[in-house]
Amino acid sequence: MVKIDKALIQELRDRTGLGLMDCRKALEETNGNIELAVEILRKKGAAVAAKRADKETSQGTVCAYIHPGSQIGVMVEINCETDFVARTAAVQDFARDLCLHITAMKPLYLAPENVDEKFLEHEKSIFKEQLASSGKPDSILNKIVEGKINKLYSDICLLKQTFVKNDQYTVEQMLQDIIAKTGESVRIKRFARFEIGA
């Protein structure tokens, strides 16, 4: 086994925000490969998120942001299990970053299940009409439409959007990282974006 030095552990900790022991174990498991260790810790975060998904989130924080020029304002509510976690730097920073993301990316819905059914049906009919003259069989057309709908979700649903401060991850993946860091269930409950003239 490769000896893992403290500087490497600290670098991984700085990148992930996770505890020293978790970082050490991930580096030992990957023989000091920091990129693989990050991947292992991300998967662990998704597992923690799945385990804690049914936990009650009755505490939290509301964050507000007014963009310079006072033409755009955003509010976001993040819920978690305890008030202690709601006040941590990890959650507070995530809430602020989320406000900036919403300002820039203009999501319409939180998640695919929140998308208005009439809007979705309208979009599907447009996609089908665009493909009608392609001559492809219905089974292929349906797969193409499904792909276009998933792309639409990544444009209009906050959780599916590419995170504005790190284009390697979606907002949902960043949320899973927060869950891994805090060890609690954390949810984006709701958001509102206000823009003058919109």
DSSP letter for each residue of 97-155 = HHHHHHHHH--SBSSGGGS-HHHHHHHHHHHHHHHGGG---HHHHHHHHHHHHHHHHHH
Residue 164: per-residue pLDDT: 94
As given in the structure block, the two tokens for residue 161 are 């959007």
pTM, entire model: 0.71
The rounded percent of the chain whose pLDDT value lies above 70 is 90
Averaged pLDDT score across all residues of the chain: 86
Residue 157: per-residue pLDDT: 97
CA distance 193 to 110: 12
CATH architecture of the domain with range 6-52: Orthogonal Bundle (1.10)
Residue 180: per-residue pLDDT: 83
Domain boundaries, the chain: 6-52, 59-106+168-195, 116-155
CATH architecture of the domain with range 59-106+168-195: 2-Layer Sandwich (3.30)
Confidence of residue 16 (pLDDT cuts 50, 70, 90): low
As given in the structure block, the two tokens for residue 190 are 């709701």
For 123-132, write each residue's pLDDT tens digit.
Answer: 988 888 888 7
